[in-house]
Amino acid sequence: MKKKTRTHMLITLFLLVFLAGCAGTFTKVPVVKPRPKLYYKTVLPLSAIDEKISYLKSLLESGELEGSDRELALDLLTNYQAIRDAVQEPANRA
């Protein structure tokens, strides 16, 4: 009787190991959500930025500014142009 129980237990154990080895593995597929398009918002409207750019260009072309004032006007002009370009294009380009 004990021999029968051992064989049944060994057969059951063998079947469990065999069937567990045949079972497939579960893999979780990550879900990638698309990023929404982001746009920068400015306090000033684009028309005001364009007016400031044209004013700074005319001021620099007139030659009224010298030294550090001219450098400051050039810095302002490049910053206003960068702001205008950033407002017109989406924030995430990927």
The boundaries of the domain holding residue 13 are 2-88
pLDDT value at position 29?
85
In a domain, 93, yes or no: no
pLDDT value at position 71?
92
User: Would the pLDDT of 33 be above 60?
Assistant: yes
What is the residue type of 78? Answer: T
* Percent with pLDDT over 70 in the chain: 81
In a domain, 8, yes or no: yes
Helix, strand, coil percentages in the chain from 3-state DSSP, rounded to 5: 65, 0, 35
Question: Exposed, middle or buried by CB within 10 Å (0-12, 13-18, 19+), for 56?
Answer: buried
Pick from 45, 68, 79, 73: nearest CA to 57: 73
User: Would the pLDDT of 40 be above 50?
Assistant: yes
Question: Cβ(67)–Cβ(61) under 8 Å?
Answer: no
In a domain, 72, yes or no: yes
Number of domains in the chain: 1
